[in-house]
Amino acid sequence: MTTTSTAAPTAATPPEADHAPKKRGFRLGIRWKLLISFATAFTVVFAFIAIWIFQYTTTVAKDRLENELDRSAVGGAATISAPAFVELNATVPAVPDASYEYGLGYPDSPLYELIATELFSIRQIVKDAKVYSYYKDPADGKLYFSASGGYKVQPEPVGVQYKVPVADVVDASTYNYMEQGITATTEQKEYSDDFGNFISSYTPILDDAGNPVGAIGLDYPQSYVAEVQDGVRRQLFPVLGLSYLVLLLLVLVLSTSLARPLRRLTAATGRIANGEYDLDVTGLVHTRFPDEMYTLAESFAEMARKVGLRERSLTREVQRLKVEIDHARREESVKEITESDFFSDLTSKAAEMRRKARGESDGDN
């Protein structure tokens, strides 16, 4: 006797757990992503603004200082008595004095007193500046210091001593600038030496014929630029810092207002996934002026409606297919039974028994 096998397919349906969403790593909400993004952008922009303003104000302060220094040097040189300056350097010898660093002191001369007083007047106009004069010796072609405005400073003179070789006090670079200053106004931008950090201007002293007989030098400390920079830091940085914090607070408020309807939509999608297809999604993001969020909610609502219709249609189709499958299985089972050898033998025996029964019945009659 043969039978037909009705075993289930070998391919098993994947377990439900395989279709569950996989757990991801650290989750960061959109509100914080927006805040971090804007904070990064604000940091770059504010840093650029702070650096630009700081550099701009520093450059403007330096340019202004250099221009003022040049004008003061030119105006100051015009007040120096050229004949007295020439006579001083030609007739008054250097004064050896071991009490000073360079071994030379200040001469006791009315000419020196006159020139020093004129230089001191310039020093009083240009506060904090070091004012001095120098000349080129025609005998050796070298530069020497002459009268200094610092000589009139009380209680102790602070200016460079008379007829000290310039090369003994300054470096080669400064020496070159000072040498150029004998013939034309010359600027020496930021530099440092043993006496500090300065910006200097050198301007020739001209005689009545317009010929240079020497020059004056103005050394201005860079403390002014540092003060400007400190002022910028004290005023600019707090303003930028406060603006930065206010903008971040506004971004946090706005990102929260944007994230709230998204959280509602996320919760709504969970309810839709559980079969609540008639949920009013658009009501969760109701707004007076519809926007992209509202459009998204409408799309979710339309999707839920279509999914609901499709699921109900699929349910009806599944029921219909189930009935058809059950009917087909019953017919197949009956067919398997009726077509089996056992059923054929049984049918033959039953037919034989019916014939015998009819024969016996006919004999009795």
Closest listed residue to residue 108, CA positions, set 165, 151, 159: 151
Beta bridge partners of 206: 212
User: What is the three-class DSSP state of 113?
Assistant: helix
- Taking the CA of residue 104 as centre, how many other CA atoms within 13 Å lie in the half-sphere pointing to its CB? 19
What pLDDT shows up at residue 2?
41
What pLDDT shows up at residue 311?
79
Strands 143-148, 186-193: pairing is unpaired
Give the integer Cα–Cα distance in Å for 170 and 144: 11
Amino acid occupying residue 229: Q
Cβ atoms within 10 Å, residue 365: 4
Give the integer Cα–Cα distance in Å for 341 and 354: 20
Beta bridge partners of 200: 188, 219
What pLDDT shows up at residue 289?
64
List the chain residues with pLDDT less than 50: 1-17
What pLDDT shows up at residue 22?
57
Amino acid occupying residue 111: L
Q: To the nearest 10°, the Cα dihedral for 14, 19, 20, 21?
A: 140
CA angle at residue 17 from 16 to 19, to 5 degrees?
70
What pLDDT shows up at residue 20?
52
- Taking the CA of residue 225 as centre, how many other CA atoms within 13 Å lie in the half-sphere pointing to its CB? 20
Strands 130-136, 143-148: pairing is antiparallel
Contacts of 273 (CB under 8 A, 6+ apart): none
Closest listed residue to residue 149, CA positions, set 114, 117, 106, 125: 117
Cβ atoms within 10 Å, residue 363: 7
What pLDDT shows up at residue 361?
64
